[in-house]
Amino acid sequence: MTFVSNTHGSVRGVVTRALFAAGVFTAVFFPAAARAQQNDPAKPVVVQPGAPGAPSKTLPSSTRATLPPKSAADVEFMQGMILHHAQAVEMTAMILSHTQNKDVRSLGARISSSQLDEIKFMKRWLAARGESIPKPMTNMPGMDMPDETMPLMPGMLTPQQMGALQKAKGREFDHLFLVGMIQHHDGALTMVKDLFDTAGAGQDAELFNFATDADNTQRAEIRIMEAMLKKETLEEKR
């Protein structure tokens, strides 16, 4: 019995290998796959997910994605936040020449990097929607500064505050920087709140994600800066 079983197995193996070699196996055992290969339309399938409980829809292959509708408040928020971020970057640019405090330097590098990236994103967002991008004026090498004729966004430092920061050194600079940046971050939180409080605004997915991420990041940085100020106060009392 063992001999017969092995013989039958061998015969099946030989036949199977022969069918594969002849290209018959796929056509016989997988006719659907064979027909798909023969037709080979190579047309993309566009599927639109349905609402909860509703079926999805198959759309024509010519379907093109469109940007979601924007509101005037969305555009104003992005334009204003570019100018707002630009001042924060200006503030961090002073750090290397004004203080040796490692904590302040580390924080400044983090703020500068994240806000420069966000400025690039906001400019791309506005350009993709055909909206104007605020034209900065350059006051420092490699830095884009908002035009002084532009109205200040919430939390932005006044020219007097920026002048005092520029003149300060060492511990005085550290203190003014931290106090000023907390004020600055608080202003950004106000801008996000005002956006979401405006009817019809903040519905764009990209803008929504950006605004909520910025809100979370700046709240976290405010807590860090408040802890640094507290530490500074304790050291002064010693």
Task: Write down the pLDDT at residue 19.
Answer: 40
Tokens 């920026």: give the residue: 162
Task: Write down the pLDDT at residue 92.
Answer: 98
CA distance 163 to 20: 82
Q: Could you give the domains of the chain?
A: 72-237 (1.20.1260.10)
- What would the two tokens of residue 102 be? 């490692």
Judging by beta carbons within 10 Å of its beta carbon (0-12, 13-18, 19+), is residue 131 exposed, middle or buried?
middle
CA distance 185 to 141: 24
Task: Write down the pLDDT at residue 66.
Answer: 60
Task: Write down the pLDDT at residue 74.
Answer: 97
Task: Write down the pLDDT at residue 56.
Answer: 74
Which element (helix H / strand E) includes 133? none
Task: Write down the pLDDT at residue 44.
Answer: 65
Tokens 């490692």: give the residue: 102
Tokens 């961090």: give the residue: 92
pTM of the model: 0.68
Task: Write down the pLDDT at residue 150.
Answer: 56
CA distance 223 to 226: 5
CA distance 188 to 85: 9
- What would the two tokens of residue 50 be? 């349905």
Task: Write down the pLDDT at residue 136.
Answer: 62
Task: Write down the pLDDT at residue 233.
Answer: 80
> Angle between the 205-237 and 170-197 helix axes, to the nearest 10 degrees?
150
pLDDT truncated to tens, each residue of the chain (238 aa)? 444 444 444 444 444 444 444 444 344 444 444 444 445 455 666 666 655 666 777 767 666 656 666 799 999 999 999 999 999 999 999 999 999 999 999 999 999 999 999 999 999 999 999 999 997 654 443 344 444 455 688 999 999 999 999 999 999 999 999 999 999 999 999 999 999 999 999 999 999 999 999 999 999 999 999 999 999 887 776 6
Residue at 48: amino acid letter = Q
- Contact criterion met (CB below 8 Å) for 184 and 115: no
